A and B are shown apart, each in its own frame.
Chain A
Amino acid sequence: MINRPIYFDYSATTPVDPRVAEVMIPWLTERYGNPASRSHAIGWEAEEAVENARAQVAELVNADPREIIWTSGATESNNLAIKGAANFYAERGKHIVTVKTEHKAVLDTCRELERQGFEVTYLDVQENGLIDPEVFIAALRPDTILASVMLVNNEIGVIQDIAHLGEICRERKIIFHVDAAQATGKVEIDLQNLKVDLMSFSAHKTYGPKGIGALYIRRKPRVRIEAQMHGGGHERGFRSGTLAPHQIVGMGEAFRIAQAEMATENERVRMLRDRLWAGVSDMEEVYLNGDFFHRVPHNLNVSFNYVEGESLIMGVKELAVSSGSACTSASLEPSYVLRALGRNDELAHSSIRFTLGRFTTEEHIEFAVGLIKERVAKLRDMSPLWEMAQQGIDLNTVQWSAH
């Protein structure tokens, strides 16, 4: 492609920061040691690099480095945490609580546990995407062993109150897992104070490489999980498999940069995001999905009513954005996250997620606003729903021919 689109999909993945790429390279070529090789200096230096990175990851979230183990990414961390804790604590009970708006890596893992005989409650969220703590408490039972709640939602960017939910779980001795894949570098995380037992991380959402992640496993009070990957007993038996020092060093550097720069970066990105919202929200029938205030600074999820999301994405092909609607896959179902907010069909089908990041500029925002306005207007001129709405017809009263 000659003209690459402007990237507005930082929640899908981020580019590796050039500073990160630079520190990774020597660990592929000159410093190729296996950190598990205890018998020579080439192994020792790799081990030292891995431990240095572990400390960098731990520092961003105020944890002890011994509480961090390496995985292939947040999907694996979620699988290991949820299956590992469920299997270990199965004698205490078989009930798990999670939320309908979780990532598929959590929801599908819970589905698998249901097949293995566990019982899972999938909680509804409020219209703003946030969990009502009373609803959470009401779902907990004497046989509840585990709750899993994401810190930042990947589609709508809302931040759940995990400090509060953690207290609730701790009082009841329920293991609390948090998927923080979308949160690092966006939200302060202090695991010394949070009552979180297990937390999943990913490198590539925070300007690190793909294929590497981590799982936090609390030491005090000690949390136990059953390993899901067996082999040489790496990572204190929690996750066997030869470590990938170049990836690990990259994640460490990415998290170090996140810690050093997140305060200023988040303010810059928030200003750009707010400008984007101000630009598009002066059109008619534009709706923000998810709470505006309890939200990460780089996310804007918007429904342009009466315009179908996939056609709008095609219309703004100069921008790399993603649809809340899953129409791009074989399914005709709109986003399950937006449905969980109680959005009606039209709005759920009309959503676009813009996620900004480190390399987004004011020029990008200005260009995007102009383009979106033009293309939304064009598609509305083509939309029979827009025409009916303009004529004052209530679409809910129309008899549609479902197909």
Chain B
Amino acid sequence: MAYSNKVIDHYENPRNVGGFDKADEGVGTGMVGAPACGDVMKLQIKVGAGGVIEDARFKTYGCGSAIASSSLVTEWVKGKTLDQAMQIRNTDIAEELALPPVKIHCSILAEDAIKAAVDDYRQKHSS
């Protein structure tokens, strides 16, 4: 299968690979997917004062499109408030990376990863 140049760029030069301390109060962690399906994404956000995402990290087990989708969202969430980050749609990701129909699930997973990370952060701060 031929990949778009943007997928190849994110795959070869992934942005923000790595992680933060899960226990850190300012960190939200989302882990989505399953090995059985061939992709697992871990997305972490570091939230600063005023509820703005200051930094993000990812690790992904999956195909090139899954890696590119998660790399892309770490760039997109930075500087956004939690509510703004929740507005990111899988269709935006798929369009930006020109994902073919069989790879749309990668963008869905990336959207789910953002939601899971935000939920985790909010849960930490709900009480």
Closest Cβ neighbor of A385 among chain B residues: B61
A400 and B33 form a contact (CB under 8 A)? yes
**Given the interface contacts A403-B33, A403-B108, does A308 sit within 8 Å of B1 by beta carbon?**
no
Interface size range of chain A in the complex? 20 to 34
A346 and B37 contact, CB distance less than 8 A: no
- Which positions 324-342 of chain A face chain B at CB distance < 8 Å? 325, 327-330, 332, 334
Measured in the bound complex, the distance between the Cα atoms of B39 and A328 in whole Å is 13
State the CA gap A329–B112 with chains docked (Å): 23
What's the Cα separation between A315 and B13 when bound, in Å? 11
Known contacts A332-B105, A403-B112; is-contact A314 B3 (Cβ 8 Å) = yes
CB of A5 to closest CB in B, whole Å: 14
Does the CB pair A310–B41 fall under 8 Å? no
- Considering only residues 97-154 of chain A, those with a C-beta below 8 Å from chain B are none
Shortest Cβ gap from B105 to chain A (Å):
7
User: What residues make up the interface of B, taking CB atoms closer than 8 Å to A?
Assistant: 1, 3, 11, 14, 17, 19, 31-42, 59-64, 66-67, 101-102, 105, 108-109, 112
Chain B's closest residue to A381 (CB) is B17
Cα–Cα distance between A344 and B35 once the two chains are bound (Å) = 9
Assembly CA distance A141 to B115 (angstroms): 56
| B37 close to A311 (CB less than 8 A) | no
Taking Cβ atoms with an 8 Å cutoff, the residues of A that contact B are 306-308, 310-311, 314-315, 325, 327-330, 332, 334, 344-346, 349, 381-387, 395, 400-403
A314 touches B35 (CB 8 A): no
B38 contacts A402, C-beta separation under 8 Å: no
Instruction: Give Cα distance in the complex from A346 to B62, angstroms.
Output: 10
The answer to whether B36 touches A327 (Cβ under 8 A) is no
**A325: nearest residue on chain B (CB-CB)?**
B38
In the complex, the answer to whether B33 meets A383 with C-beta atoms within 8 Å is: no
Q: Bound complex: CA of A387 vs CA of B105, how far in Å?
A: 23
